[in-house]
Amino acid sequence: MEVKKIFLPESEMPRQWYNIMADMPTPMEPPLHPGTGQPVGPDDLAPIFPMNLIEQEVSTERWIDIPEGVLEKYVIWRPTPLYRAYDLERYLDTPAKIYYKNEGVSPAGSHKPNTAIAQAYYNKVAGTKRITTETGAGQWGSALAMCCSFFGLECKVYMVKISFNHKPYRKLMMQTWGAECVASPSNETEAGRKILSEDPDCPGSLGMAISEAVEAAVGDENTKYSLGSVLNHVMLHQTINGLETQKQMAIAGDYPDVVIGCAGGGSNFAGNCLPFVCDKIHGKEIDIIGVEPSSCPTMTEGPFAYDFGDTVQMTPLLPMHTLGHNFVPAPIHAGGLRYHGMAPIISQLIVSDLIRPVAIHQLETFKAGVTFARTEGFISAPECNHAVAMTIREALKAKEEGKEKVILFNWSGHGLVDMAAYQAYFEGQLEDYPLPAEDIKRALADIEPLPKPKQYRAGNL
Amino acid sequence: MEVKKIFLPESEMPRQWYNIMADMPTPMEPPLHPGTGQPVGPDDLAPIFPMNLIEQEVSTERWIDIPEGVLEKYVIWRPTPLYRAYDLERYLDTPAKIYYKNEGVSPAGSHKPNTAIAQAYYNKVAGTKRITTETGAGQWGSALAMCCSFFGLECKVYMVKISFNHKPYRKLMMQTWGAECVASPSNETEAGRKILSEDPDCPGSLGMAISEAVEAAVGDENTKYSLGSVLNHVMLHQTINGLETQKQMAIAGDYPDVVIGCAGGGSNFAGNCLPFVCDKIHGKEIDIIGVEPSSCPTMTEGPFAYDFGDTVQMTPLLPMHTLGHNFVPAPIHAGGLRYHGMAPIISQLIVSDLIRPVAIHQLETFKAGVTFARTEGFISAPECNHAVAMTIREALKAKEEGKEKVILFNWSGHGLVDMAAYQAYFEGQLEDYPLPAEDIKRALADIEPLPKPKQYRAGNL
């Protein structure tokens, strides 16, 4: 019988994370201080992050040991299975072999605990008592809540108000794991009060929630802030995914021609693809595709520039693809992909032509998700459907071309807590929200005064 | 490092189901025809089930081959991991070793696809075009919907109206997998119309939904009916769980002193425990515990008697522990445990003193579920929390007694689609609904006119 799932035993789980900073074809630009415009140093970040994570943020060591305390929790769901999508292949009648890494088997249902475990652990070690964070659709907030409960840390989550109201199950997951979750903008922070005084009915945004969570951490020495994506150390922690996948592909006797992931802040995509990017830097031919929503086309339409991570301009300026920190994405159901920026690492790899970004409309992603559910069984999170849709495009292209391609995609999580999105799809209420050129231009006006972006066009590859 | 999950490779997945009918210490009483009161034969069942499943229902072969077509789908999530609950053990400070079989990794999130795959497969082979079924909380309906989509069968689910309204996500899962789901009682069947004419606001019950689904199948030769629990062939299909567990316990180098599962109709419990019951029949000392809600104490308070499986008395009379087919359980959140009867196989094993039933109040089960989530990570379905609660009782008893017991329980599914139940718990709105003796007496009045129950008191063990 065909082997459907390639498992690794726990004893084969990687013991180190892979740090692509050691292999970047061009050096990364530093984050800049929001006040001075000068590169930020570790001391600037100390009020919000513990020093052990700041060290990881700036490290250029290729391999970083995963502490025993993190490994002990990873085994709750890791190594995750690598699947062969036989039934999807047959349905599409494609000569392509399709593999997917199933990150949905974690208790939180997504890849987010890969870094949440690590961040909770390092904070615990550093003496932190309480962690604040923001969450959009709730995948990150619920993952951090779980991991804080494992290490006996308090956890406070500022959840974008519109999601807080629309996704009560995520909030309840956080509560079950012992965290406190409030709707953002809230009356608990200056940032929140300022926003509410201008617009009492403000539905919130990820940028606003970050402002609140950062403010709440800065004000208390026992409290630190945690970010679920974008930053270098988050990408680092997620690489356990891709490192496992490489071992599993080797067991399967295949190597991917195409690697696909959806990208909001970039962490699930980075986690799976960075070890393959390393192979590509060292000569392998791979098409590595990051998929984003057409309604929030950060990678495909946003310039590579310095911009703030949040709305009220508290965070350092990061060198990244961005639509501007005031950009408010359309209300698509893939809440995790509604972010104006993109991880600096992913952004720079795009500029270096190592990663190819593609934007896909919402309706195509849900159609793909339903096809996937009816063939492979699993119901994907709306974010993840972007990767499924791109995979189907590539598989059909392989069919047209008659090529025996190997396609790998990262199945970042299930959608069982997001079924309202499927309801909207079935009821014909979903829209594509294509973004008119003038809207993009307007959005980008915000970042024109910022330092000019440097362009690294794969020159020294 | 400690091994957390014991995996079996797909090549080690059992190739046969275990049929306990070959080992029952006392012969089973036959189901009786509702009209004549005579034992039903295969022909009586032919209008609702395909003949291949009827043969399994009455088979006394110890081992039944699992068809290749079923195995090919089982590998989507099977073999499921056996977990060691190190963190729960540490939290309880118990000398007991706690293992749990994680059936929540299926795409539907529960054990239900174990039989749904098999039933869809056998129906497909027999030429069935369309399957009808009932569902309470929706675990069964969603599992069957998925499996019908795999085999290209139409699927129609009559969902208890109160759950239909309270659990929209389950209904949407069914829709995503291509099934049609209607609220029961509906206007689509005579049974439904009759009930609605007497009580237009009737919230429905599992017994009523069964009546509707059976009626819809009987009227159309291309349509068959499918039941997600209670019947012998359902218990049979579920035994793949226990057979895997036995192999995994052997790998772990342990054997359970206690085996625990929650029991509504009995299928998840049977699936895990029947292979261990076989060992017990052959001399092993094991305490095998079925856990039910105090508000629906079928096993602990209901007599072993002949009763109908449904409300309007269309099904055969089954020999089982029952609270009477008119019993309407309190609105506890463990919808899957709100059934008046219990699988004949489980019922008879109770009478034979091979299984020990225990009833637990709702609040204790949710408290246990929160403890489990904050230590092991996974959020359990409300049904499953009954098994968790009993496990905690046994672990604390082992601590009191200073005994190094091995406890195994069946973690039948996650609760991510049932978070509203946790909300009610956190908001202090849950009740225990203890059942007054007079209510039980009143409920049982229904079954007094039925043939006298035979008592099998472990005489010939």
**Is residue A241 in a domain?**
yes
pLDDT computed for residue B443 by the predictor: 78
Strand A317-321 relative to strand A304-308, pairing = antiparallel
Task: Give the separation between CA A79 and CA A102, rounded to whole angstroms.
Answer: 10
Residue ranges of A 81-120 with Cβ closer than 8 A to chain B? 87, 105-109
Interface test with B, best of A70, A419, A422, A430 (most B CBs within 10 A): A419
Q: Measured between CB atoms, which of B76, B146, B416 is closest to A4? A: B76
What the block records as the tokens of B356 is 């020990």
Interface test with B, best of A379, A384, A388, A411 (most B CBs within 10 A): A379
pLDDT computed for residue B460 by the predictor: 30
Tell me the per-residue pLDDT of B390-429, one tens digit each, with 9 for 90 and over.
999 999 999 999 999 999 999 999 999 999 999 999 999 9
Q: Is B400 exposed, middle or buried (0-12, 13-18, 19+ CB in 10 A)?
A: exposed
Residue ranges of B 368-387 with Cβ closer than 8 A to chain A? 369-370, 373-374, 376-379
Give the residue-averaged pLDDT of A48-56: 97
**Is residue B91 in a domain?**
yes
Record: contact B72-A177, CB cut-off 8 A? no
Residue range(s) defining the domain that contains residue B297? 68-109+233-447
Interface test with A, best of B86, B155, B169 (most A CBs within 10 A): B169
Torsion angle (degrees, nearest 10) of CA A176, A181, A183, A185? -160
Instruction: Specify the number of domains making up chain A.
Output: 1
**Is residue A455 in a domain?**
no
Please report the ipTM that was assigned to this predicted complex: 0.95
Quote the mean pLDDT of chain B.
93
Residue ranges of B 126-155 with Cβ closer than 8 A to chain A? 146, 149-150
Helix (H, G, I), strand (E, B) or coil at B102: strand
A307 - beta bridge partners?
Answer: A318
Q: Measured between CB atoms, which of B9, B172, B373 is closest to A176? A: B373
Tell me the per-residue pLDDT of B342-390, one tens digit each, with 9 for 90 and over.
999 999 999 999 999 999 999 999 999 999 999 999 999 999 999 999 9
Residues 6+ apart with CB under 8 A from B163: B135, B136, B137, B138, B170, B204, B335
Provide the greatest CA pair distance for chain A. 64
pLDDT at B456 over 50: no
Q: Which residue of chain A comes nearest to B105, CA vs CA?
A: A105
Instruction: Judge whether A169 is closer than 8 Å to chain B, CB to CB.
Output: yes
Q: Measured between CB atoms, which of B175, B376, B379 is closest to A176? A: B379
pTM: 0.95
User: Which of A218, A234, A230, A232 has the alpha carbon at shortest distance from A310?
Assistant: A230
Residue A47: half-sphere exposure toward Cβ, Cα within 13 Å: 13
Residue B401: half-sphere exposure toward Cβ, Cα within 13 Å: 10
Query: Do residues A356 and A280 touch, judged by C-beta distance below 8 A?
Result: no
CA torsion sign, B24 to B26 to B30 to B31?
negative
Record: contact B172-A1, CB cut-off 8 A? no
The CATH number that applies at residue B374 is 3.40.50.1100
Give the residue-averaged pLDDT of B66-77: 98
Query: Do residues B398 and B95 touch, judged by C-beta distance below 8 A?
Result: yes
Q: What percent of chain B has pLDDT over 90?
A: 82
Size of interface A-B (CB pairs under 8 A): 132
Please report residues of B whose CB lies closer than 8 A to that of A108. Answer: 377
Q: Which residue of chain B comes nearest to A423, CA vs CA?
A: B172
pLDDT at B298 over 70: yes
Task: Give the separation between CA B214 and CA B395, rounded to whole angstroms.
Answer: 43
Instruction: Judge whether B65 is closer than 8 Å to chain A, CB to CB.
Output: no
Q: Measured between CB atoms, which of A9, A374, A422 is closest to B7? A: A9
Query: Do residues A167 and A207 touch, judged by C-beta distance below 8 A?
Result: no
Query: What Rg, from alpha-carbon coordinates, does chain B have?
Result: 20
pLDDT at B452 over 70: no
pLDDT computed for residue B320 by the predictor: 94
pLDDT computed for residue A327 by the predictor: 87
Query: Do residues B48 and B222 touch, judged by C-beta distance below 8 A?
Result: no
What the block records as the tokens of B120 is 């869809």
Q: Measured between CB atoms, which of B76, B109, B370 is closest to A416? A: B109
User: Which of A275, A265, A248, A432 has the alpha carbon at shortest distance from A341?
Assistant: A265
Q: Measured between CB atoms, which of B4, B146, B169 is closest to A419? A: B169
**Is residue A328 in a domain?**
yes
Instruction: Judge whether A168 is closer than 8 Å to chain B, CB to CB.
Output: yes
pLDDT at B211 over 70: yes
Strand B154-160 relative to strand B130-135, pairing = parallel
Tell me the per-residue pLDDT of A4-42, one tens digit each, with 9 for 90 and over.
999 999 999 999 999 999 999 988 889 999 888 899 999
Q: Which residue of chain A comes nearest to B104, CA vs CA?
A: A105
Task: Give the separation between CA B190 and CA B219, rounded to whole angstroms.
Answer: 11
Record: contact A77-B377, CB cut-off 8 A? yes
Tell me the per-residue pLDDT of A209-259, one tens digit each, with 9 for 90 and over.
999 999 999 989 999 999 999 999 999 999 999 999 999 999 999 999 999
**Is residue A22 in a domain?**
no
The alpha-carbon gap from B103 to the nearest alpha carbon of chain A, in Å, equals: 11
- pLDDT band at residue A285 using 50, 70 and 90 as cut-offs: very high
% helix / strand / coil in chain B, to the nearest 5? 45, 15, 40
Give the residue-averaged pLDDT of A413-429: 95
C-alpha angle B30/B110/B322, rounded to 5°? 30
Record: contact B1-A9, CB cut-off 8 A? no
Residues 6+ apart with CB under 8 A from A57: A45, A49, A231, A232, A233
Between A51-58 and A113-125, two packed helices, what is the crossing angle to 10 degrees?
Answer: 130
pLDDT computed for residue B446 by the predictor: 64
